[in-house]
Structure 1
Amino acid sequence: MLKFCTLFNSAYLSRGLAMYHSLAKHCDDFHLYIVAFDEDCCDALLALQLKHVSVIALKDFENEALLAVKMGRTPTEYCWTCSSSTIKYCIETYQLDHCTYVDADLLFFNNPKVLYEEMGDQSVLITSHRFTPCFDQSATSGIYCVQYLTFKNTAEGMTALNWWVDACLEWCFCKMEDNKFGDQKYLDDWTTRFKGVHVLEHLGGGVAPWNIQQYSFKLKGGKVRGTALSGKTDFDLIFYHYHAFAYTWNNSYRLTDETYPLTKSQIKLIYKPFVLALLKAETEVEALGEHVRAYKRTEEGIWINRVIGRALVFFLRGFYKQYYSKRFFQYGIFN
């Protein structure tokens, strides 16, 4: 069985649900541990009674060390601080032989079992950003991305994990300082600092806005297949990281930072499934009733409420042609 963990608050609830359902669709043997970062998120997740999920309340997860640094960090910085501790908590509390941390804004297109199998006898799996050269931010954002990391409950795995936990408790801020940035730059030297660290080779693990320009995609046999434009290497898309995807005030979505261009096929094959998954998740939360609070605030300051949830229905039917939805309509992918 594959064991995963993640953390998110109410603002990311629909993303987290979409990620979970994609795992359930493609992985027949897994369990996901979710640290709910506010009470409303926790209540909603418990009410949904998701089959392969254990919900962890924030009050049960936080320890003295985390609480001691919490007030000195922004909500984003505190979430970054907690990523490593989430993995450690799950491994130790549930006596897991391994645990993979996944960001809540991923969507799985195929079984991630192949990624775990690629590790072999290694104890830690990390994923490279694989930046397209013109978007390379390795110097500031790190060589590797804290989006999908596996730690085995071995001496090598726990040595690396405990070091990372301690480092994040000591310093984890949204700024560059002494070659550190958040929880992510710490990973830069892990292949030499620790034993048993494997860098993922499968191109289908870790496709994201900052590297999608390197690939073309097509649907083959019901699966999204990618091809590396350099070398013509074919691969199954395992998961996509929807960085900078957000709800907007114009009853639509912002797909990515405008820095990153997307093609028609990328939008249709990769972003359309995510839009539909989010709509399904919003409907799922709506069905819980009035005890789930309607208004949540994202870290970017965008309010998400039921009005937007309803407007998404109209959006998909083509009633709204706002700035951020024009590319959807011009390609006609929802027709």
Structure 2
Amino acid sequence: MLYFCTLFDNNYLSRGLAMYESLKKHCTSFHLYILAFNDVTYSVLKDLQLEYCTIISLKDFENGELVSIKKSRSIAEYCWTCTPSLIKYCIETYNIPHCTYIDADIYFYSDPAILVEEMGENSISLSPHWYTPVYDKSSLTGIYCVQFMTFKNDSYGLNALNWWVKACNEWCYARFEDGKFGDQKYLDDWPYRFTSVHILNDRGAGVAPWNVQQYQVKKALQKGILLSCKKERKDFSVIFYHFHDVRFRKDSKIDLGSYLLPKWVKNTFYKPYIQHILKIEKKYREYGVPFHEQKEVKNIFLDNLKTSLQRIYILKHFFFFTLNFFLSKKKKKNSSQFFQNSIKKLLFNRNIYTTKYFLEE
């Protein structure tokens, strides 16, 4: 039996349900603990009576320290702050042997049991970002991604978890400051700070928009997706994809973020995922819950102009491959916020589409 936990509010409700359904499809034996981050989300999730799930309310979860922190942090920052506390809460409240935190916007394509098995006798697992060189922000946002983290209910696991809870309660903000960023940059030195830490080796753990450029699709079947790493020339099965920064807009368009996404990536991952989300929203429309914090575009004409220009801006491919080549040869991976912003402007990539057109294309 595998034990997972996650947290989200109504703005991530359809994504969280899509993640749950993908987990249910591929994982043979699991239980998922969901922290509903507001009352409306709790009400809907309780009413759905999801199999293999326990729904936790904020009222039951929050302690005095978290409540006192809450007002000083944004919703996103408070979510990050609560992540280690949620893992600790689940382990202690339900007396489970281990707990794996998973982001609400990941989606499973095969059984994640292989990742827990890979840990062996270790007590903590970390998943690397596997950054494509041109997108490497390790020095700013961290080497590892919080997206999928397992802690065992033993002295090694709890020692690291308690340290992380304390650190996030003291400081957890969406900015880089004194070597910290959110809940994530704290993980950088864990292989040296703590005992019994395992770094996941399976590339299938965390295919994401910041690393997918390194791969090519070999097979996309009903049973799963097989990718190949271009540099290492090794095949691997996708365990989960992290749909980071997908935004729904008020003008009936969808924004897939600013990363360079090959056409096969959009067809293999994004189209089926968006279709699944829309299917869930249609199914549960009766609840009258807003499923997204829809992005409002202030100047539609300028936005459309930028989107049109980037599609004929062929230099983005030249700059991407040139910069990626030179950065891959660079031994010291260190980049400033200014450097990352400059690359972003130089590549000038936008993945904005009319939702209906994107799905039919």
Q: TM-score, normalised by structure 1?
A: 0.88
Q: CA deviation at 1:69?
A: 0.8
The answer to whether the Cα contact below 8 Å between 1:151 and 1:158 also exists between their aligned partners in 2 is yes
The amino acid across from 1:129 in the alignment is: H
Partner of 2:319: none
2:3 counterpart SS class:
strand
Shift of 1:327: 9.8
**CA shift for structure 1 position 326:** 6.1
Report what 1:325 is aligned to: 353
Report the TM-score when normalising by structure 2. Answer: 0.81
Deviations 1:180-205 (A, max 9, x none): 11100100000000001001100000
Distance 1:134 1:328, change over 3 A: farther
The equivalent residue for 2:77 is 77
Deviation at 1:251, TM superposition (A): 1.3
1:270 alignment partner in structure 2: 269
Runs of 4+ in 1 over 3 A off after TM superposition: 292-297, 300-303, 326-330
- Post-superposition shift, 1:252? 2.8
- The aligned runs of 1:1-335 (5 Å cut-off) are 1-222=1-222, 223-256=224-257, 258=258, 260-286=259-285, 289=286, 292-295=287-290, 298=293, 324-325=352-353, 329=357, 334=360
Inter-partner Cα distance in structure 2 for 1:249 and 1:45? 25
- The structural deviation recorded for 1:301 is 5.3
Do the aligned partners of 1:5 and 1:87 also contact (CA within 8 Å) in 2?
A: yes
SS in 1 for 2:69: helix
Q: CA deviation at 1:294?
A: 3.5
| RMSD, aligned α-carbons | 1.9
CA–CA distance in structure 1, aligned partners of residues 288 and 71 of structure 2:
25
Whether the aligned pair in 2 keeps the contact of 1:125 and 1:197 (CA below 8 Å) is: yes
CA distance in 2, matches of 1:327, 1:71: 36
**Counterpart Cα distance in 2 of 1:73 and 1:164:** 17
* 1:315 matched residue in structure 2: none
Q: Is the 8 A contact 1:218 1:269 kept in 2?
A: no
Instruction: Quote the sequence identity (%).
Output: 47
Cα gap change, 1:145/1:268 in structure 2, threshold over 3 Å: closer, same or farther? same
**Structure 1 CA distance for aligned equivalents of residues 355 and 44 of structure 2:** 33
Q: Structure 1, unaligned stretches of length 5 or more? A: 304-322
State the Cα distance separating 1:281 from its structure 2 match.
Answer: 1.6
Other structure's SS at 2:78 match: helix
**Any idea what the Cα deviations from partners look like across 1:129-167, whole Å, max 9, x if unmatched?**
111111111111011111110000011000000100000
SS in 2 for 1:325: strand
1:230 partner letter: K
1:221 to 1:242, Cα distance in 2 relative to 1, 3 A: closer
* Change in CA separation of 1:45 and 1:165 when aligned onto 2, cut-off 3 Å: same
- Aligned partner of residue 148 in structure 1, secondary structure: strand
How far 1:124 sits from its partner (Å)?
0.3
Number of corresponding residues: 307
